[in-house]
Amino acid sequence: MKQRTFAIDTPTKVGEMITVAGWVHSRRDHGGLIFIDLRDHTGLVQLVINPEQAEAFRLAESLRDEFVIRASGVVTERGEGLKNPNIASGDVEIVVENLEILNRAETLPIQPFAEENQAGEDLRFKYRYLDLRRPTMQQILKKRAEMYRRMHQYMDTRDFIEIQTPILANSSPEGARDFLIPSRLQENKFYALPQAPQQF
C-alpha cells in the first residue's frame, strides 16, 4: 500500500499525488460529478470523481455511508466561494484517479452523525461500535486518553513504577453479565471479574 496521507495533512500536499483511506461520511451526485466526504480519525477531506475516470466513477456511484474506501488522486485548491472554513482541509479537494472499496456497509441501524440522534439507549448500546463514532463520544474518549497520558507522564517524570495487579470483586447484581473464572483450589467456586471501573 502506498504511504497514506491523513485528511488533516492534505492542505500541505497541493499538486501532489496522494493516497487517503477512511469511511464515506457522505456522498453527493451533482450532475455528472460525484463528491465524497472521506472521514478518518483526523477529520474530513473532499474527494471529487469525474466521469472520465470510468472505473472510479462506477464504484463511486455504489458508495453509501460508512463504506471503507481507499482513493488516490491529486490534491487541488478549491475555487473561490467553494472553500469550507468549517473543516481543516476545507481549502483543498482530491481529484480521484483510482478508487478501491475496502469494506461495504449494510444499512445502518443507527445514524451516528445525524444532527439529532433519535436512537434509544438500548439500541445505542447494542450497536456500540457505531455509537462510539459519534463526535461527542469521540471527544470523550480523546479527553479520557489525554487525562491518562498526563497522569502517566507526571508519574514517569518522578520515577514512579506502575504495577498492575489482578482485581477480585463481588459479583454485581445489576449491569452486564459476569465474566466468571473458575477457582482451581475451591471446587464449584468462581471469581467474577469487575464489570466497570466506576465500582472502584
- 63-91: pLDDT as tens digits: 999 999 999 999 999 988 899 999 999 99
Please name which of 20, 18, 59 lies closest in space to residue 40, comparing C-alpha atoms. Answer: 20
- Phi, psi angle pair for 77, to nearest 5°: -80, 140
pLDDT of residue 68: 97
pLDDT of residue 176: 59
pLDDT of residue 198: 53
pLDDT of residue 148: 94
What H or E segment, with its residue span, contains residue 37? strand 33-40
Look at the block and give the residue holding cell 468549517: 86
pLDDT of residue 122: 87
Note the CATH number of domain 7-103.
2.40.50.140
The pTM (predicted TM-score) of the whole model is 0.74
Flag residues of the chain having pLDDT under 50. 200
Residue 66 corresponds to which cell in the numbers above? 460508512
pLDDT of residue 16: 95
pLDDT of residue 13: 96
Q: Which residues pair with 76 in a beta bridge?
A: 93
Look at the block and give the residue holding cell 439529532: 116
